[in-house]
Amino acid sequence: MFDMIKKLTLAASASALAFAAAAATPDMPRASDIDVTASYDAAEGSNAEALFPGIGEDVRLAIAELVPQSGDGADPIIRVDIRKIALNGDTILPESREFNELEGVVSIETESGKGGQAFNVNVTAARADGIAPEGYILLPPSTGDFYQAMVDGFARNVADRFASVNTEGASINR
């Protein structure tokens, strides 16, 4: 099954890369920092920390490719806490390292503490004809590296949401 899933993720990866090139528009706000942590080990019995010790840094790097950064401490900070890595809802992952759900909480914070926002990002992978569970974003994988497709899909959603905030971190209408 994992081989089939890996084969199904190439299109999602290609789409993520194409989107990455277009995501950082000149009018996108800049982030002064991107901080990613992973508290998924709090899920009872989860072995995600042992299987994916570097996923926090991978997500941070993927977001950094999509969101322009500045050295200005007055610009918003993106904070991400990865809360769950699961295979069909099960947080005890197989030794094959398969997973198809990645969940986290994103906080956009401002220097003043005003105007920030927080939101959940829930990414799942399924075939193009699949249906995402309620509250998830469907990533229709085709082939390639499944792990990278999930990380890139998560980062792409964070960048999309970040693009809709102003310099104080408040939502703007586009």
Q: Compute the distance between CA of residue 2 and CA of residue 78 in angstroms, rounded to an integer.
A: 32
Asked whether residue 171 is assigned to any structural domain, the reply reads no
- pLDDT value at residue 120: 95
Judge contact between 13 and 149, C-beta under 8 A. yes
Asked whether residue 122 is assigned to any structural domain, the reply reads yes
Asked whether residue 22 is assigned to any structural domain, the reply reads yes
- pLDDT value at residue 141: 54
69 is in which domain, residue-wise?
Answer: 2-138
Asked whether residue 56 is assigned to any structural domain, the reply reads yes
Q: What is the mean pLDDT of residues 48-70?
A: 94
Asked whether residue 150 is assigned to any structural domain, the reply reads no
Asked whether residue 165 is assigned to any structural domain, the reply reads no
Q: Compute the distance between CA of residue 127 and CA of residue 141 in angstroms, rounded to an integer.
A: 6
Q: What is the mean pLDDT of residues 37-54?
A: 83
pLDDT tens, residue by residue, 149-173:
899 999 999 999 998 876 555 554 4
Asked whether residue 156 is assigned to any structural domain, the reply reads no
Higher pLDDT: 115 or 74? It is 74
Q: Compute the distance between CA of residue 136 and CA of residue 154 in angstroms, rounded to an integer.
A: 11
Position 95 pLDDT exceeds 90: no
Q: Which residues of 47-83 are buried (b: 16+ CB within 10 A; e: fewer)?
A: bbbebbeebbebbbebbbbbbbeeeeeebbbbbbbbb
Mean of per-residue pLDDT scores for the chain = 77
The number of distinct structural domains making up the chain is 1
Asked whether residue 173 is assigned to any structural domain, the reply reads no
